[in-house]
Structure 1
Amino acid sequence: MPRPKVRPEDRQRSSKACLPCQASKIRCDSQSPCMSCVRRERAAACTYIESNSRRRSHRHLRDRPIRFVSRMNPEGAAASSTPTRASRSVANNVNRNDDGQVKPLLANGLPSTSVVESPECTESRVLLSSKGERVYIGETSALSFLQFLRGIMKQYMGPSSFTENGPLNIMLEADENEDRTVVLEESIEDKRELIQAYFEASSGFLDLFKKSDIYKVLQTENSSHKKRLTKEDLAILYLVIAIGGQCRGANPTDHQYAVNYFSRGQQLGFDGMLKHPSIHMVRIFVLMAFYMLGACHRNAAYMYLGVASKAAATLGLHIKRQYQGLSEEEYYIRWRVFRSLRVFDLVVSTPLGRPVSSLPLDHDGSPLPDRMQNTDGEAVSAAFAGSKLLDEIVQKLKTMDNNLDSETAEHFLHRLRLWINNLPPEFRHLAADNDTVPLVREKAIGSIHVSCIYYFAIILTTRSFLISHLMTRLKELSILTPGPAGSPSTQGNTSTKIPQLANVCTQAGAYMANMCEKAMLSGLLLRNMCIVKAWVFAAGLILGSSLFVYDDTETRGETESAFQSARHVLRNLANLSPQAKHYDEILTSFAEAIVKHRQHVVSERQKAAKQYIDCIFDIDITPTAGRGERCEIDDGDGEDVDYFYPVFDESIPGAVFGGLDNFPGVESSNLDNTSVDLDGFSGFSFQDGANWSIDHEPFGLLFEGM
């Protein structure tokens, strides 16, 4: 019997939620304002988007013609690598109108009446913050690529859990309701361990001060000479301890250390600090940005970096002339602070697709004399060189409308290879020697961060080629609605660069995901990695998009394994990070869509074949799995070859010979069910096997030895 309809007055669950509650993923009572917003003092932002539940049918969306854009024109000549905005799609910026239908939303926040078409590449979009404010996300962000994939998949196979996964225009931010009144039983030993955890988590990003200097401040803070410390010194110490507790997250005490000490450090940092820019001010706001990023407040982190960047520009840290006449100690302090700010600003802003706040050096090279070089900040030095290349790639993408030509892409890939070839040997192999576990982890995380910068730079360089290749493959796989015979996308593409560089993009994602999983399984990752989760999510989207359309078995297993590695890492980080949990949910729904799509393609191919052929004789005799006999057969060249053939066992009726029951995670009864175990990918094959030159291959695992 159909389920009885519940009257509105009898409904116990809310039928809608306000925008702040949707963004925070908390229960809403549908009042205006709701109690959740009242408790969090955000009643003014408690707004609702009215829409009903009527949606267009899956069949209507699935049967819609899809417009594919090719890099080749009908005459076979190369198309322009910078398509005009007028011909580009706005399918990434999705909003819903009153009847529940998809309606494009441009970067200025206004609805568009243009026809939604399959986009050629990612575009900037607007999301809503937890307060209901519109925030900007650029073309290079993983969120823009995610929306591109959702638009393509929805047009190709209809709505799914992946395309309809929660509010599409909400930028996830964690709840700020933290209890900061809990009294801690503090010990200096706990604080020392948390300081070490900070240096592990920030390795390769931040080199703001020496470790010995922080330990001296801690010792003074726990002595009778505490009054000698300035409020800037205390703010830095408290923020370091807070970050250590947040990233280690070994127990509830670590979390309480993080909450309490960040509150203290933030209060001291805001106490008149904006009036007098200083090196300490830059340090404090960089540390607050690091903490906010780990707390899933990306907008706050970005704004804190903006304050730090303006202070650094005011001090002239990017100008070489300003370093003249300084003592060696002050010279080195200014340089290491600027270098840390620049690296962290780039690795935070680029995944969000937002402009970088800090200014680049006004000259090439380092202002630091050779006699002052040391090994304290080698990881940050390597990351600084890599982030400079990353910035050049992003700027070039902007000038070329987010589409690099193959010559430019190969140029950047060559420069990236030169960079990693010049790295010290310790970045390529992990050697414990006589170091303690924390020091080994600190070195390992530094190498992981440098490696991720490298892989992410390759992904940004080659992602447009992957998109172009995916569009071509989607058209080839389209059985129900094939394109016109003379359309550009159906003609053979004479260029081999696109599939080659598309494979480079996939390989970069695979290397990153596998490396991070190995580090996690080796105990080298902390429980909260503020940037790694965003990088791994970006890699997971690249791998998933490859699995969605590829149908060659040559390297399918490696890509599927790397995709599962990305999900594994995010699932582990999800214990402390709502953002990582959300990323894992997205990749899980993506995996479900991949399995559903594979089943659909297999079914359609079988239907197409049945127009010309029928099965006329079927054998239902069941052999015993695992039993058989071995014999030797002459191969014609005078050599015997072992051959295994099964022996039938009539005592076991009903088993399926060679069926999917023999594959782990896949049952034959689930062939037509969308609930197939996502780890049972072995029943289907999707991977591109195009040959590609070793010159385009990423250097391999930049960080080995785990």
Structure 2
Amino acid sequence: MPRAKVDPKNRQRADKACLACRAAKKRCSGTFPCIKCDAVAAPRLRCATPPLQSSNQTDHPGSLSPEAPHRTHPRMLRNLQGERVYIGKAASLSFLQLLRDTVTQYIGPSQFSHSLKREDMLEAETPQDALPPFQESDIDDDRRQAFLLAYKIATSGFVDVLSDEETERVFEPAAFQEPAKCLNTQTALRDIMIAIGAQCTKSDSMTTRAERFFFSRAQTRAFTGMLENPSLEIVRLFLLMSFYMLGACRRNAAFMYLGVAVRAAVALGLHIPDSSTTTAKEQSQRACIWMSLCILDLLISSILGRPPATACLRLENSGSMEHGSTQIRPDLVASYRMSRILDEIIVRLYSEKAASADAAASILGKLTRWSDSLPPSLLAPPSTDCARPAAQQHIIGSLHIACLYHFAVIIVTRPFLISVLGIRLARFQPASTGSLGLPTEALQDDPAHAQLASACVDSALYMIQTCMEVHESDLLLGNMCILKAFVFAAALVLGFSLFAQREVNTAVEDAFHGAIRILHALSQQSAQAGHYHEILTLLKNAIAEQRQRLMHRSPQKNRYVSKLFSLKRDQDPAGEEVPASVGENASGMTTPSQANLLDSLMDGGLFCDWDGMELPSWDSFPFTEDVLS
């Protein structure tokens, strides 16, 4: 005879297994994701039901280890040519995939999880549309200087490869009037600087033509005999071409160009302080170039989740470059120090199967010490008598450094946010599917994880609030190649937090919508910002759907008390809902018979002498609170 069906409250394993366990015919833990699937780093397998408690767990139900297993996984995405390229688990795109799977888990298929191409890197094609012919003489000195200023603003805080004296020499009028007297490498450097400035300037026909013309010429000169012998000009040129490619939504090309720059720098020994054969001025020059390389390398690598090219080379200088000269700009030194902490984050947290709370706390301590050591000039707005171009450069540089700090905090604490919000979402599920008969109190957060998760949300909130202040002051450039990646990473954190909240957190929601507005503004000149804007807009819709589901779901009954009496006929005294056909029509509106009954009772003064009763205001005696609510 067939075995009798086991009552759900007596089940000792998940009633529905994940796909991997079902195929292997193994017992499934029923958690989200499945513990066995997570152990083998299966990137996209998810359980069929929300978290449940394992019966053979010896500690308190719902307790967590000091480590948070990484729920984001490395992925292979496709570039524009269809080639599969590697994206690491620290990347925002990997976190996006986890968020898509989570949204699907709780509200089912949606446009957010299924409308976009999930296997693409969200890069942009090189523009192929024909433009009117362009010559260098088509732009005057004023336009050229405007592009140079935009270049300085765009790279402020991240890149400093030419001193002011060198820049003046490259851009002196004689160099344009008699180009034959100017070295080929210097001409290429001038071209790429103009191209970056034009790329970041609010676009018009002349600006677009100038951007393509000067970048094409710089790129052609870079690959025409210049790679045969390493030089400082080659390092500078490929570093700046990498920066340009970030703005052009070509991150794989930026990653490759930066690799060329790093190899040339190593061949020249820029990673080793050399005081025996160079002057103090040359030492500062070499240090600035190397520090710029390290900053951009760690930024691109952390955004893509790939190993940085300069990681193993940092031990050789032991941070001596940042203290070597007062001629190095303080914003560059601050970013360089932060890049070293970013390197430690990737090594200590993301090279392991789980993120250690102790390691995270240690790194956050270093970030605090880093912020405490910043010079006051980087933390204060410019003086009121400062000219607008100089003030804008100062503000954007400080904004870049602030966002770099918040981004570092986010990637340190994000694994713990994922863990905490996963438990919170599980608590929202009905008891029949969420905990195998265990009370909601069994799904509790680890206090250390909850604090780290709170830091993740707060850091994302502060980043977007700071960006909104600059955006509303009309100081952002038309194209912010690294800022848009920072904003997207922070917005995903805020969106995940909102998705896992019953109540509306006004500050978080305002910041999330602010991030969407910033990316919409940047999307006018950046296809990648347009992709980010579309993704976040669809996430906003998924959040609204989840909020509606949570609002309409009846609260879970408390096992210690039940409601005895109610005037509403769509609910029985025990608190169980009656089918809509009894108390409500198909649209959810109250039926005439019920409305007439309530009206007659109230009009007749049946309860007019029951002062102070106020049945609707009775306490529901909540025993649990949501973390990060």
User: TM-score, normalized by length of structure 1?
Assistant: 0.69
Alpha-carbon distance between aligned partners in 2 of 1:325 and 1:465, rounded to the nearest angstrom? 49
What SS does structure 2 have at the residue aligned with 1:550? Answer: coil
Which sections of structure 1, spanning at least 5 residues, go unmatched?
1-62, 68-78, 95-118, 622-686, 692-706
Q: Is the 8 A contact 1:66 1:155 kept in 2?
A: no
Q: Which residue of 1 aligns with 2:305?
A: 353
Q: Which residue of 1 aligns with 2:76?
A: 126
Alpha-carbon distance between aligned partners in 2 of 1:527 and 1:494, rounded to the nearest angstrom? 43
What SS does structure 2 have at the residue aligned with 1:136? Answer: strand
Q: Which residue of 1 aligns with 2:527?
A: 578
Alpha-carbon distance between aligned partners in 2 of 1:221 and 1:238, rounded to the nearest angstrom? 15
> How far is 1:464 from its partner?
0.8
> In the alignment, is residue 588 of structure 1 matched against residue 588 of structure 2?
no
What SS does structure 2 have at the residue aligned with 1:605? Answer: coil
Q: Which residue of 2 aligns with 1:339?
A: 291
Which sections of structure 2, spanning at least 5 residues, go unmatched?
1-14, 20-30, 47-68, 558-569, 578-582, 584-593, 601-624
Alpha-carbon distance between aligned partners in 2 of 1:186 and 1:257, rounded to the nearest angstrom? 8
What SS does structure 2 have at the residue aligned with 1:481? Answer: helix
> In the alignment, is residue 173 of structure 1 matched against residue 123 of structure 2?
yes
> In the alignment, is residue 270 of structure 1 matched against residue 223 of structure 2?
yes
Alpha-carbon distance between aligned partners in 1 of 2:426 and 2:102, rounded to the nearest angstrom? 12
Change (3 A) 1:564 1:494: closer
* Matching residue within 373, 377, 386 for 2:338: 386
Q: Which residue of 1 aligns with 2:155?
A: 202
> In the alignment, is residue 217 of structure 1 matched against residue 165 of structure 2?
no
> How far is 1:387 from its partner?
1.1
What SS does structure 1 have at the residue aligned with 2:433? Answer: coil
CA RMSD of aligned residues (A): 2.7
Q: Which residue of 2 aligns with 1:256?
A: 209
> In the alignment, is residue 435 of structure 1 matched against residue 386 of structure 2?
yes
Change (3 A) 1:304 1:181: farther
* CA distances 1:562-607 after superposition (whole Å, capped 9, x unpaired): 1111111111101111100110100010010111111112222279
User: TM-score, normalized by length of structure 2?
Assistant: 0.77
Change (3 A) 1:314 1:120: closer
> How far is 1:299 from its partner?
0.5
Change (3 A) 1:620 1:574: farther
What SS does structure 2 have at the residue aligned with 1:135? Answer: strand
Map 1:168-567; keep pairs closer than 5 Å: 168-176=118-126, 177-179=128-130, 182-184=133-135, 185-222=138-175, 224-320=177-273, 322-358=274-310, 359-367=313-321, 372-374=325-327, 377-401=329-353, 403-479=354-430, 481-485=433-437, 491-493=442-444, 495-552=446-503, 556-567=505-516
With a CA cutoff of 8 Å and minimum separation of 6, indicate the structure with the bigger relative contact order.
2
Amino acid at match of 1:241: I
> How far is 1:398 from its partner?
3.1
Alpha-carbon distance between aligned partners in 2 of 1:125 and 1:339, rounded to the nearest angstrom? 30
* CA distances 1:355-390 after superposition (whole Å, capped 9, x unpaired): 1122325132323775x313x622111100111111
* CA distances 1:614-672 after superposition (whole Å, capped 9, x unpaired): 78668789xxxxxxxxxxxxxxxxxxxxxxxxxxxxxxxxxxxxxxxxxxxxxxxxxxx
What SS does structure 1 have at the residue aligned with 2:114? Answer: coil
> How far is 1:397 from its partner?
1.6
Change (3 A) 1:84 1:240: farther
* CA distances 1:402-453 after superposition (whole Å, capped 9, x unpaired): x322221111111101101110112222123432111111111111111111
Amino acid at match of 1:315: L
What SS does structure 2 have at the residue aligned with 1:163? Answer: helix
Map 1:61-100; keep pairs closer than 5 Å: 87-88=39-40, 90-92=42-44
* CA distances 1:92-151 after superposition (whole Å, capped 9, x unpaired): 489xxxxxxxxxxxxxxxxxxxxxxxx951000011111110011001100000001111
Which is richer in helix?
A: 2
Q: Which residue of 2 aligns with 1:154?
A: 104
Identity of counterpart residues, as a percentage?
A: 35
* CA distances 1:464-493 after superposition (whole Å, capped 9, x unpaired): 110110110111011262222459x97243
Q: Is the 8 A contact 1:66 1:156 kept in 2?
A: no
Q: Is the 8 A contact 1:484 1:490 kept in 2?
A: no
